[in-house]
Structure 1
Amino acid sequence: MAAQATANSATTLQVKSTAKTSTQVGSTAKARLSKVAQQKVKAKKAVSTARKQIGAPYRWGATGPGAFDCSGLVQYSWRKAGVKLPRITYSQYRAVRKKVSWRNLHPGDLMFFSGKGHVGMYVGKGRMVHSPSSGKTVRIVKLEGYYKSSFTGAVRPGG
């Protein structure tokens, strides 16, 4: 009889412990979901801001709003979404912890090319917005040819 009572007590304690763990896991999952949802909202705003800059001229060292270089465009766009990024392309790559692969790109992700010497922002459907070079303007391009072959990495800001 004493052994049976001990077994029942142990079972009861185990169930209580499991219930507490489930609650903790549930609240952790909600926090992660909320963080993911917040990142998506910020990314949508950054993409929208970058798209509004289409046609603005490239100017080395420019950070907008009238002209941009590549890192200035993504810094400006993400700043409007409430996310601070460093000014220089390579520093932008290093500062964002969440690295993503070509196959896992989401709108708002920063894409780096030519040894992280150039950056653009993924806008979805195999395209990115960027400020390419002198004499050109902010534009959306397909990610093929040169961009596919010179891709060196991507990061997901805002998370």
Structure 2
Amino acid sequence: MKSSRIICIAAVCALLFHTGCTNSVFANVGRYESTHQIQQAAKGQDAHYKKFGKLKVSEKELLRTAYRYIGVPYRWGGTTPRGFDCSGFVTYVFKKFNVKVPRTSAAQYDSSRRIKDKRQLKVGDLVFFSGRRISQRIGHVGIVSKVNPKTGTFAFIHSAQTGVQETSSENPYYKRRYLKACAGPLR
């Protein structure tokens, strides 16, 4: 009886650990589990961006920094690699470049130069979306990671409910909620 209870408890713990439903310091915090995996991913991103033309050194470094955190879980009010909310992620990434960015997405928009035409976006610019409800109120922010200057479509890195990820502007959820764009702090 006692050994079956121990096996059952061990199975539940293993399941919780595997699904990330634990606050243990041993839980998988990001997509990458080692420094080597992070370095390999950064090299892959460098190769990927060669086909998009020349990027400034600051743009490459910004992307390399942002991509390191893909897979980090969403945490409301989060500002560290233990968990980010959308504006906390933006603030954290730019802080790595000694650039102070306001804490909330609305304040980030208010403090930045507007970009009216999406075809003028550059890597590192900020894009703003309404929150869960479609409205004109800013509720989400991301960092532009790719741009097609002919069509104005772009990809952005952000912290969503499923964690830090890269998403296309053509994603139906975000396409309906897109509001505005601003020049990034490194521009």
**TM value normalised by structure 2:** 0.58
The structure carrying a bigger helix percent of its residues is 1
Q: Percent identity?
A: 42
Deviation at 1:98, TM superposition (A): 4.6
Q: How many residues align?
A: 119
Counterpart for residue 143 of structure 2: 121
CA distance in 1, matches of 2:59, 2:125: 8
Counterpart for residue 110 of structure 2: 94
CA distance in 2, matches of 1:90, 1:70: 11
Task: Give the root-mean-square deviation of aligned CA atoms.
Answer: 1.9
> Per the alignment, do residues 84 and 42 of structure 1 end up closer, same or farther by CA in structure 2, a change over 3 Å counting?
farther
Counterpart for residue 160 of structure 2: 132
The yes-or-no answer on 1:143 pairing with 2:169 is yes
Structure 2: gaps spanning 5 or more residues: 1-55, 131-136, 148-153
The structure carrying a bigger strand percent of its residues is 2
Higher relative contact order (CA 8 A, sep 6+): 1
SS across alignment from 1:55? coil
Farther-moved stretch of structure 1 (139-148 vs 82-91):
139-148
**TM value normalised by structure 1:** 0.68
CA distance in 2, matches of 1:46, 1:79: 11
Larger radius of gyration: 1
CA distance in 2, matches of 1:109, 1:100: 12
CA distance in 1, matches of 2:81, 2:127: 21
Q: 2:97 aligns with which of 75, 78, 81?
A: 81
Structure 1: gaps spanning 5 or more residues: 1-39
